[in-house]
Amino acid sequence: MIACPDIRKDVIRRHYDVSTLFYRLLWGRHIHHGYWEANESPAVAQDQLTDRLAAAAGVEHGARVVDIGCGMGGSSRRLSKRLGCDVTGVTISPFQRHWATTAAWREGMRQNVRFLCADAENVELPAASFDLLWSVECTEHLFDKPEFFRRAADWVRPGGTVAICAWLAGPDLNPEQEQQVYDVCEGFFCPSLGSMEDYRSWLTDAGLEMVAADDWTQNVDRTWEICRDRVKRFGIHRAAKWIDRGQIIFLDRFQTILDAYRSGAMQYGCFVARKPS
């Protein structure tokens, strides 16, 4: 695991309060990577990532889902729309909660989709109350990942599922690759990035049984080519200087994360685990 000890939780919260506008402009309604099978548009690729994780997790129609790190609620609403899921989304950002709630209201999903503003590491949820714990690109921001998975396993009913997509530190890194991962952690406000084996260990130590642990890096890294190019095309740096200069390091690290994926310093992992019945 590669750690960046200077990251603070209040900075993460502020980042998402402010950067949601940048994400929406640069990327779309989902705050996560796209998954490409061919030459799909970014919007289609984003939906495909949600759909592939749902398929890998075997999400059943009407499942009770908690979406940890729900962002603007794009995946929560898609799970509800396509699979009739009852979804509770959790985000650390008050701005994102408001955005997600408004979007769900506009799409007529108020009965089946709701959002909480809470810290995923402190939120209190009823034991065994969900069929599925879903988290896409949130665990990177957690300070005590093993403890989170122990708590998360308690929220899932016996026989239920945990489905995770996460940025990962690659295996057997040389010093240059370690620096790339550190730079990504610093620019994207991640206290640490675990490896594929770290996530396997955290999930199994929480009492879960691994179903799948897959490397999706080659299908998702195009995300950062597109975002990098849009930053240049739309002059986003100029907007960042007016809105919040603290976002400039975030924008500058788009090339860094792309380089880290392509050097093997980072991977993008999909994990599915079950809670024993």
Predicted confidence at residue 69, as pLDDT, reads 96
Domain count, the chain: 1
Report the half-sphere exposure of 8 (CA within 13 A, side-chain side): 3
Query: What's the pLDDT tens digit per position in 52-73?
Result: 999 999 999 999 999 999 999 9
CATH number of the domain that residue 96 is part of: 3.40.50.150
Q: Model-level pTM greater than 0.85?
A: yes
Q: How far, CA to CA in Å, does 137 sit from each of 140, 142, 238?
A: 6, 10, 27
Predicted confidence at residue 118, as pLDDT, reads 97
Predicted confidence at residue 233, as pLDDT, reads 67
Spatial separation of the C-alpha atoms in residues 112 and 90, rounded to whole Å: 14
Predicted confidence at residue 231, as pLDDT, reads 76
Predicted confidence at residue 228, as pLDDT, reads 83
As a residue count, the chain comes to 277
Predicted confidence at residue 244, as pLDDT, reads 52
**Phi/psi of residue 117, nearest 5 degrees:** -100, 105
Predicted confidence at residue 247, as pLDDT, reads 58
Q: pLDDT truncated to tens, each residue of the chain (277 aa)?
A: 899 999 999 988 988 887 777 677 666 677 789 999 999 999 999 999 999 999 999 999 999 999 999 999 999 999 999 999 999 999 999 999 999 999 999 999 989 999 999 999 999 999 999 999 999 999 999 999 999 999 999 999 999 999 999 999 999 999 999 999 999 999 899 999 999 999 999 999 999 999 999 999 999 999 999 888 887 765 555 554 444 545 556 667 788 999 999 999 999 999 999 999 9
Helix (H) / strand (E) containing 11: helix 9-26
Predicted confidence at residue 249, as pLDDT, reads 63
Predicted confidence at residue 242, as pLDDT, reads 45
DSSP per position, 131-196: EEEEEES-GGG-S-HHHHHHHHHHHEEEEEEEEEEEEEEPSS--HHHHHHHHHHHHHHT-SEE--H
| 3 state SS of 46 | helix
Residue matched to tokens 């690659």? 170
Which residue segment(s) compose the domain that 255 sits in?
Answer: 2-274
